[in-house]
Structure 1
Amino acid sequence: MSGVMEHVDVAVPIRTAYDQWTQFEEFPHFMEGVQEVRQLSDTMTHWTVEIAGVKREFDAEITEQLPDERVAWRSTGGTQQAGVVTFHRLDEGNTRVTLQMEFEPHGVVEKAGDKLGVVDRRTKGDLTRFKQFIERRGQETGAWRGSVDRPTP
């Protein structure tokens, strides 16, 4: 497994940043390579992505969600990916968004891209575009304030 961790500071309150992140169907507006995300239920999403010319589809399950704090997920079947995004209040109008992911690169192109730091740069770019998206709007496009408790082992 490979991993990446990046963060960005956004000039919006923590609730605004968190609420926007829960709007998974908006991800194609700021995430490179994400063509579509469909919310299937409160805890399941279906992703269509294209990376290095390779199109993949997979489902992801929200494994933990705490309003204004964190959203964690893992893929189910096929593409192996897991991650967590956390939200930290810097002050009244500023929030740090930290994204940590683990993934299994497939094929020669993805493995080479991982070694060259392509995923790190893409993740940083996605967070920068998220910053621009939410700061330009000044408010979230929607919100889901429900909680998903971490499964007990």
Structure 2
Amino acid sequence: MSTVAASVDVEVPVRTAYDQWTQFETFPQFMLGVEAVDQLDDKHTHWRIHVGPSIREFDATITEQHPDERVAWKSDNGPNHAGVITFHRLDDTHTRITAQMEVDPEGFVESAADKLGVLKHRVNGDMRRFKHFIEGRPHETGAWRGDIPRPDA
């Protein structure tokens, strides 16, 4: 497993940043390689992504979600990965968003890309694109304010 972490400071209140992040269907607008994300219910998403020349689909479960604080997930099938996005209020109009992911590359191409730092570069780019995405709008495109408690260990 490889661990990737990236942060970005955005010029919006923490609630705005968090609310936009809960709109998974907008991810293709700022995440390279993400073709579509469908929210199946409060805890489940279905993803279609490009990995090199291939298209992969997988399901993921939101394992913990607390408004204005964090969204954590794990894959249910397909590429083995898990992660958490945390939101930190810097002041009334600035938020730090941090992404931490663990990814288990599959096959030669993904392993080589991992060793070359492609995933870290991609995540950093996605965070910068999210910054431009959210700062370039008058308000978030939607929100989900539900709470999903961490599962018992």
Range of TM-score over shorter length = over 0.9
Q: What's the CA shift for 1:52? A: 1.2
1:10 counterpart residue number? 10
TM-score when normalising by structure 2: 0.98
Structure 1: how far apart are the matches of 2:110 and 2:143? 33
1:49 counterpart residue number? 49
Structure 2: how far apart are the matches of 1:112 and 1:149? 36
Could you tell me which amino acid in structure 2 is paired with residue 72 of structure 1?
A
Structure 2: how far apart are the matches of 1:3 and 1:138? 34
Structure 1: how far apart are the matches of 2:85 and 2:150? 14
2:88 counterpart residue number? 88
Could you tell me which amino acid in structure 2 is paired with residue 108 of structure 1?
F
1:22 counterpart residue number? 22
- Alpha carbons 1:12, 1:138 under 8 Å: kept: no
Structure 2: how far apart are the matches of 1:124 and 1:68? 21
- Alpha carbons 2:56, 2:78 under 8 Å: kept: no
Q: What's the CA shift for 1:137? A: 0.5
What do residues 12-46 of structure 1 show as CA deviations (whole Å, max 9, x unaligned)?
Answer: 00000000000000000000000000000000000
2:126 counterpart residue number? 126
Query: Is it true that 1:32 corresponds to 2:32 in the alignment?
Result: yes
* Greater than 2 Å deviation, 4+ residue runs: none
Structure 1: how far apart are the matches of 2:16 and 2:109? 37
Could you tell me which amino acid in structure 2 is paired with residue 48 of structure 1?
R
Query: Is it true that 1:68 corresponds to 2:84 in the alignment?
Result: no
Secondary structure in structure 2 of the residue aligned to 1:137: coil
Q: In angstroms, what is the RMSD of aligned CA positions? A: 0.6
* Structure 2 residues not aligned, in runs of 5+: none
Structure 2: how far apart are the matches of 1:62 and 1:2? 20
1:111 counterpart residue number? 111
- Alpha carbons 1:9, 1:97 under 8 Å: kept: yes
Secondary structure in structure 1 of the residue aligned to 2:35: strand
Percent identity reads: 61
Structure 2: how far apart are the matches of 1:35 and 1:44? 17
* Structure 1 residues not aligned, in runs of 5+: none
The number of residue pairs the alignment matches comes to 153
1:99 counterpart residue number? 99
